[in-house]
Structure 1
């Protein structure tokens, strides 16, 4: 839980993930791992197994939702362009950071232009969109020239304050649990395998991807020997969903279509054999690194599991029991036999 908190507090909107990839590298350093970055900036970790002719790959992504400066407005505020799929109302009132191309950081708040109810009659009804949403910078600026004098320009990245909190009742609530909770689980799994001197049945790759929120994070650098590909991402919660915050969610289908039936049944069987609480679910408006890999044309068996995350792409929350059941299923999965295609 503390590692998840550390991860969500590192700004990493898609396209600007160098700092968090470096953090993961440093945390896994000294374990004698094969690690390299691909050209997209993602991190690939490999652990050799008994069978080196057939490989597995597990992936989770460090990139998060965010924004980019679209326009420096004449009133000294910033117009934004979204990075990733969220709704403007989900970030209205949120504190943020603006990172200039020189690396300087400024803070601000994301607000409606028509925020003051004492001035704007339509403050509650005005459309929450990129025309009306703007960033109020925490600097003494009154026009676009004064903003530009700070070094802020079009194309600068804007990250959202995660407001991470771990409660005494076992919840963690924060932005960007999608998918930094999964990254933390893979990091813990890698550490455990190395510290216990465990030999896996198959050579296993761990891809910490960095472009999932924009659709192509895990669609490359998949070794030709890879047979199974498991994405570890969030389980979506809402009306009509079986996923909750206390179990591991096993995805049967998302917007890309069904996941591999044999692998799904294998994951269910592992959960049942080991007394894990799980839910099988369908995520209607969802895609993963695994579905991106399938679309890229890789001949793989693909699956998707994750902790149940409430209020996805907004101020999210999950419980430690969901984290526990998910990471335990991962532990049993990497030591299990492959499924038949």
Structure 2
């Protein structure tokens, strides 16, 4: 494999990004981090009203544009109820199950800027007290946050500054192994954000002028369905979402190749663009898998639903255990970076 020149930097950037709490609706800090990265590269950026970030690289052709997107918002929660027992009930942000956060350390982000730590647990956790500890349903009724403070009632919680509507983020527990694996919460989709940032960095360092003006949207509401459905210029012809490839029974995606999505819950992606991506991969020795994600939607599908007249596609690194205990390998990051590099230097597809 011809290694992409900065895959180690990509892994380091992923570690930085996943370590910044950013559940959907609470993304200012991570967007600022991305903006600072691009500003240091002298890349033009602007914020949209939803809080997302758009970077633009001028191309030789300014009449036809491309847009690439990855999202920086993650799964998370909000305080649903300040309970009389001194604990918190949660309401989930994004599509995941309560069992995937049982036992997880978390942070409560209060409206006055304080951060208070806690642990997400079943109310019936102790097997020495509750005989149904293993069988009780993992749901909003039974799961709660144990706060790392001496609080025994709702009034004591509120004295800490915690209130209904405060955001709750999960400890990413990021680890990078010597044999190339990276495991962490929120690789969906911060792995792809890091890939796009490193791609932009490479283009700047190599002083490459793109064939078409290209916009990079770092969206911040994808997990709730509408991050990438706006701020698409009328000149945009192709729109490529960079997001995780989902793994599991019946899937071809793995942790070692780039996944090219042919269809998800929103329907098929553009056939011509899919064929173009496959041709680029074959021509450049890039290992890939074609796949269908049955319970999935992307910023590209959100843009199509919003009525934009675009050619849309979706690729990304393969991520194991999506929306839970995620993991990928540096080779998947590497192949995704390579395919994106060759894609943005290629001609537009015929449509």
TM range (shorter): over 0.9
Deviation at 1:207? 0.1
Partner of 1:226: 236
Partner of 1:67: 77
Distance in 2 between the 1:28 and 1:222 partners?
20
Cα RMSD over matched residues? 0.4
Q: Alignment length, in residue pairs?
A: 341
TM-score scaled to structure 2, two decimals? Answer: 0.97
What's the CA shift string for 1:139-195, capped at 9, x where partnerless? 010000000000000000000000000001100000000000000000000111111
Partner of 1:242: 252
Distance in 2 between the 1:163 and 1:141 partners?
26
Distance in 2 between the 1:130 and 1:227 partners?
43
Partner of 1:178: 188
Partner of 2:165: 155
Deviation at 1:286? 0.1
Are 2:57 and 1:47 equivalent residues in the alignment? yes
Are 2:93 and 1:83 equivalent residues in the alignment? yes
Deviation at 1:32? 2.3
Are 2:13 and 1:7 equivalent residues in the alignment? no
Which deviates further from its counterpart, 284-293 or 31-40?
31-40
Distance in 2 between the 1:104 and 1:210 partners?
22
Secondary structure at the aligned position of 1:44 is classed as: strand
Are 2:131 and 1:121 equivalent residues in the alignment? yes
Distance in 2 between the 1:212 and 1:256 partners?
14
TM-score scaled to structure 1, two decimals? Answer: 1.00
Distance in 1 between the 2:250 and 2:305 partners?
27
Deviation at 1:29? 1.2
Secondary structure at the aligned position of 1:31 is classed as: coil
What does 1:14-29 correspond to in 2, within 5 Å?
14-29=24-39
Partner of 1:257: 267
Partner of 1:30: 40
Distance in 2 between the 1:326 and 1:277 partners?
9
Are 2:110 and 1:92 equivalent residues in the alignment? no
1:141 to 139, 151, 158: 151
Q: Which consecutive residues of structure 2, in runs of 5 or more, have no partner in the other structure?
A: 1-10
Structure 1 stretches of at least 4 aligned residues deviating more than 4 Å after TM superposition: none
Q: Which consecutive residues of structure 1, in runs of 5 or more, have no partner in the other structure?
A: none
